[in-house]
Structure 1
Amino acid sequence: MAPVRLATCAIPPGWTAPRSARTATAALGGASSLQFGDQIVYLGTEGEWAGVTRSANRAGLQLGERPGSLESERLHVVIQKGRLFQREHPDVPVLVDKGRYLLVDLDPVLARRLAKRKDPCFSVLAPEAVDKAARGMDRVVFASRDSGADRAASRAPDPVVQMHVDRISRATFELDLAELVALPTRFSSSAHYQAACDIVEQKLASFGYATSRQTIGLGGSQSTNVVARRVGTGPATRRAVLVTAHLDSINLEGPATAPAPGADDDGSGSAGVIEIARALKDVANVHDLVFIHFGGEEQGLFGSKHFVRSLSAAQRSRVHAVVNMDMIGALNTPAPTVLLEGRTVSQPVLDGLAEAASRYTGLTVETSVNAANSDHVSFLDKGMPAVLTIEGADSTNDEIHTSRDTLDRINFDLALEILRMNTAFVAEALATSPTEV
């Protein structure tokens, strides 16, 4: 393949998400591009580059050109949890660093090997595999929405939904998170993990939900999913709304018994499921409401894959939305920001969550249709509309999967805003008539 040149550019005012890359690339006469939030990366061959720079000058774009060129097959997009890719491969040159999302110079043989890994630490994609619904060579890795425009266009808050949103409490969320983090570890096959299951099941049952457990295989050992349900009042055509997180934690710096508090990953999401269940305990739900704490996520999404396999085709078709929370507690951006990550099938859920953010919170919203590394993928792979809600992507919590993922790293203001957004979306979805969802 031909060598390519690379340059970066901040998105100019007025070229807003989610298709800023298309607008900006048109100004550069057809150079291919990758959008990383508020930044665009332009790619072009040596023969194209003089035209690219001339077009940039005419358009008033300030390009930051990378010296030299590199083989196009070495360019890869990495989607990582925390800094797990960089921790494992510190010598790989990073060309663009947006926390969860990287552009790297990676040997293609190593890239193909890494792409086959089953653990959810990171994913490696060729640029053409990014934003699969896109046409041409202009791809969006993730985009930043115009929060001001979203709020200007949003409806006034619904009083009933606002009532449930207002029940989100720092006091109870913090207590629940502290109780989970106090366990020495929540490693999926440990006795301490079973203690965590006891904690969350008891709390969910106390709110009036019908609870159950699923035993899941981990390839030589076992773990558990905890499921809580409330059947909707609607007819047989009613749908189901799921709120999920993984309950397990891990410490990659030691053995399975090593301390793994997992405050952000994913104690924050697990305590968040409990908090949303508390806020919605007396919601008038037309549709079925399901809360799930998954086991085995850190070993390869075992819990969510097991749950999805347990659903019949008819049950899968009833799933209206899956709202997954994985790491909602680290402030990685100057403004409190949430990343909504799904695929094309989950675009209505992405849009609904973004609207809930604009109506009921002060969150800045980032979006991506490049799903990876968490339990939402298990649902998406079977065609169900699932979205990961996770702390904003521009930086990242580099202490996950260690003994240092502790309570002092949690930004409770951010976590509570994400919980308010999710609560509002779920409350509205549950109240919608079966013919409207």
Structure 2
Amino acid sequence: MTDHREKLIPSRRAFLAASAAVAATPVLGARAAHATGHGLHKQSPDRQLRALLREIDPNRIGAIVTRLAAFGTRHTLSAQDDPVRGIGAARDWIHEQLRTYAAASGGRMTVELQSFIQPVSPRIPTPTRITNVVATLRGDTDPGRVYVVTGHYDSRASDVLDATSDAPGADDDASGVAAIMELARVMATRHTEATIVFAAVAGEEQGLYGSDHLAQQFKDAGTDVQAMFSNDIVGTGDAHDGTAGDPRTVRLFVEGVPTAETAAEATVRKSVGGENDGPSRQLGRFVHDVAENPQTGMRVRVIWRRDRYLRGSDHISFLLRGYPAARLTEPRENFAHEHQNVRVENGVQYGDLVEFCDFRYIARVTRVNAAALWSLAQAPGTPKGVVIDTTQLTNETTLRWQRGTSADLAGYEVVWRETTAPDWTNVLAVGDVTTVTIDLSKDNVFFGVRAVDRDGHRSPVAAPLPAS
């Protein structure tokens, strides 16, 4: 009987070196016995994740979107001390709600107001206080490893400097804030290995100022942020523009060559064909793997771009600091009503209003986030220091990496694919080692390494760069 998997990568013999020989002889560069790798399968949600996904409530999400829109405007330059209208009232309400969720966490979730003064800039005419509302769920066993999810709670009218006109901002971006708040609510009562940060950021419409401050705080503290997601315009699968809606798809934008890489680093990555294997691309593959399933009810359409043309979201603040980051957004935007002041024509209201949002759609996007964040926080961290030995002319491949510190780390898997394939096609368990030599030419395929824990949770893949 012919193994159909051998058609993926033709070879003169069985493709891979079995991990057992390496594990038994933990010597750098040890040669393993021949074995055949097998195809990859999607990671199925574990029991705890399935229960978590069921708790995400579209009615609660709808109530959050409706309440945020009722503040009239949440423009960054609007009133900070009015109790019923403006960004200050919205800030205080979000803070109060997150504190309520944190009260159920047994002390593991803390909530803070992270404020700073933004100097004058093209969209900030006078020095302005900007405040992020940040809820942190501390991990139990690996708290230094951090995952961040954001939505921006500021809104805008057509004129980006108009701080007084109504700007309900239901889709952009009360929808994203509702998603992160509902995530905080359902996750507050659960234990995770790593730390998750849920942040409602401000100043996005004026220049990503809130997320820029948040990302810099992490950078200054040396925080190991291994993934960040921005939920921005996730209100509906129906663009309300006469086209067919797509209520079961969410777009995920991920960059290629990392924004923060130096020119020399980018040159090395491109020289080995690694444009599609940067950390954010691996994050996109991971989300597609763990979040596209019947439990979320969504198709994750991964788009290999940093963001849409002419605009950008808060994930860019994290990309600029070298953190893997991605942006979730609805499948088709309606540019006619986005950011528009509320107006009435023939008895019909137009603008970024609650009526344009589909709370069930936002709930499904929230489940995509939950599947990604839970799977990341329960798995070992992404392998670090992964290199491929290119110092020898050989038809074999030697990979090295640093051993992770996760308490329940079981070992590692090597994955590979054809250079023309968009995703990993084969995998081989290599055990709890930090070096493996595989009888497959590094010239012909792309390799990666991922960590696995004792419960079968897998990390995102780390692609190797040539050893220096």
TM-score by length of 2: 0.57
Q: Measure how far apart 1:364 and its partner are.
A: 2.5
Deviations 1:122-150 (A, max 9, x none): xxxxxxxxxxxxxxxxxxxxxxxxxxxxx
1:367 match: 302
**Contact 1:188–1:249 (Cα < 8 Å) also in 2:** yes
Which structure has the highest helix share of the two? 1
Q: Is structure 2 residue 342 aligned with structure 1 residue 382?
A: no
> Match for 1:299 among 192, 203, 206?
206
- Do residues 198 (structure 1) and 92 (structure 2) align? yes
Q: Residue 408 of structure 1 aligns to which amino acid in structure 2?
A: E
SS in structure 1 at match of 2:55: coil
TM-superposed CA distance for 1:408, in Å, is 0.6
Q: Is the 8 A contact 1:342 1:376 kept in 2?
A: no
> Secondary structure at the residue paired with 1:320?
strand
Contact 1:335–1:364 (8 Å) recurs in 2: no
Aligned residue for 1:136? none
Unaligned runs of 5+ in 2: 1-39, 80-85, 103-108, 121-125, 257-278, 343-350, 382-403, 405-450, 452-458, 460-468
CA distance in 2, matches of 1:416, 1:312: 31
2:338 is aligned to: 400
Q: Which residue of 1 aligns with 2:380?
A: 433
CA distance 1:369–1:432, shift in 2 (3 Å):
same
- Aligned residue for 2:252? 340
Between structure 1 and structure 2, the one with the greater Rg is: 2
Which of these residues, 330, 337, 350, is aligned with residue 284 of structure 2?
A: 350
- How far apart in 1 are the matches of 2:153 and 2:167? 12
What SS does the aligned partner of 1:398 have?
coil
Deviation digits for residues 286-318 of structure 1 (CA, Å, limit 9, x no counterpart): 1111111111100010111111222245634x1
Corresponding residue to 1:244 among 144, 150, 166 = 150
**Does residue 1:325 correspond to 2:231, yes or no?**
yes
Is the CA contact 2:176–2:234 (under 8 Å) kept in the aligned structure 1? yes
Moved over 3 A (4+): 433-437
Structure 2 vs 1, CA of residues 304 and 348 (structure 1 numbering), >3 Å: closer, same or farther? Answer: same
**Does structure 1 retain, via aligned residues, the 8 Å contact 2:227–2:323?**
yes
Alpha-carbon contact 2:45-2:371 (below 8 Å) kept:
no
Superposed displacement of residue 335, structure 1: 2.8
- Amino acid across the alignment from 2:77: S
User: Which one of 120, 124, 129 corresponds to residue 222 of structure 1?
Assistant: 129
CA–CA distance in structure 1, aligned partners of residues 366 and 329 of structure 2: 11
Secondary structure of residue in 2 paired with 1:315? coil
1:396 maps to amino acid: N
Q: Tell me: CA distance 1:239–1:262, structure 2 relative to 1, closer, same or farther (3 Å).
A: same
2:8: which partner in 1?
Answer: none
The change in CA–CA distance for 1:235 and 1:391 in structure 2 (over 3 A counts) is closer
The equivalent position to 1:261 in structure 2, one of 160, 168, 171, is 168
Q: Which residue of 2 aligns with 1:160?
A: 48
**Counterpart of 2:273?**
none
Bigger mean CA offset, 374-383 vs 214-223 = 214-223
Match of 2:181?
A: 274
Mapped to 2, the partners of 1:169 and 1:202 lie a distance apart of 19
Structure 2 vs 1, CA of residues 342 and 295 (structure 1 numbering), >3 Å: closer, same or farther? same
Q: Which amino acid aligns with 1:365?
A: V
Distance in 2 between residues matched to 1:194 and 1:176, nearest whole Å: 16
Q: Which amino acid aligns with 2:227?
A: A
May I ask how many residue pairs the two structures share in their alignment?
Answer: 283
Residue 352 of structure 1: how far off its partner (Å): 2.0
Match of 1:169 in 2: 57
What residue in structure 2 maps to residue 181 of structure 1? Answer: 69
CA displacement 1:129-172 (0-9 Å, x = unmatched): xxxxxxxxxxxxxxxxxxxxxxx943433111111111110111
SS in 1 for 2:168: coil
The CA deviation at 1:430 is 1.4
Q: How far did residue 255 of structure 1 move?
A: 2.5
* Cα drift, residue 383 of structure 1: 1.1
Worse overlay, 152-161 or 300-309: 152-161
Q: Is the 2:216–2:321 Cα contact (8 Å) retained in structure 1?
A: no
Q: In the alignment, which of 117, 129, 140 is matched to residue 233 of structure 1?
A: 140
C-alpha distance in structure 1 between counterparts of 2:376 and 2:183, whole Å: 14
The secondary structure found in structure 1 opposite 2:156 is coil
**Partner in structure 1 of residue 101 of structure 2:** 207
Corresponding position: 1:310 with 2:222: no
- In the aligned structure 2, how far is the partner of 1:426 from the partner of 1:343? 19
For residues 179 and 166 of structure 1, the distance between their equivalents in structure 2, rounded to whole angstroms, comes to 23
Cα deviation for residue 397 of structure 1 reads 4.7
Gap change, CA 1:428 and 1:365, over 3 Å in 2? closer
| 1:403-426 CA-partner distances (Å, limit 9, x unpaired) | 310011002222111111111111
Q: After the TM superposition, which residues 14-33 of structure 1 pair with which residues of structure 2 at under 5 Å, given as runs? A: none
Which AA in structure 1 matches 2:378?
A: A
